[in-house]
Amino acid sequence: MKTLILACGALAREIPALSDQLPAYDLRCVPAILHNRPDRIVPAIEALLDATAGQYARTVIAFGDCGTGGGLDRLCSERGLERLPGAHCYAFFAGRPEFDAMMEEELGTFFLTDFLARQFEAMVIRPLGLDRKPELRDLYFNHYTRLVYLSQSADPDLLQKAKLAADRLGLAFEHRPTGLSPFARDLARLTAPIAA
């Protein structure tokens, strides 16, 4: 039987890109927009766990805490599951030590990944109401000073979108290519066959 990877929709492109490094698996994602309502993440994952119970040899959670306040870790503990280590995908992609160093450099950092650069309007602008009330930008981003784009791919269109996002938020722009290496390492470790 295969491994089931229950993941955030923000990782729906990156996980299949690593298929050659993973054992046989099926991927099920919860909508990435749940990050705007983190209280709904654990119930969404619970529903997928219940719907797939008994169908897989093993289930792993490709998710950070993502604002669940430890709720996801409690669910994993209750169900005997493992999840990717870290608070969110920014740390997955950059690597936790590198991410921590960036936060020490500048606490007021807003991060984008390829997914967020691609979905900036749908995930940031519209949910925050900035399309209707641009003046809210100062309320939401007053304490931010820079936008760091952690890119998983070398896509010039996404790079341009990330720069435009920084301009729209009035933040200094930095680009740090991460590729998929730290994420691939952690996901491969998480899905590695369990020794008998």
d(CA 95, CA 90): 8
Q: Are 113 and 159 in contact (CB under 8 A)?
A: no
- Report the C-alpha gap between 64 and 46 in whole angstroms: 15
Q: What is the mean pLDDT of the chain?
A: 94
Residues 6+ apart with CB under 8 A from 137: 130, 169, 170
The closest alpha carbon to 191, from 43, 56, 79, belongs to 56
Q: What is the pLDDT of residues 38-61, one digit of tens each?
A: 999 999 999 999 999 999 999 999
Helix or strand holding residue 147 (H, E): strand 146-151
With beta carbons less than 8 A apart as the criterion, state whether 189 and 86 touch.
no
What is the per-residue pLDDT for 87? 86
Say what percent of the chain tops pLDDT 90. 91
Rounded to 5 degrees, φ, ψ at 62 are: -95, 80
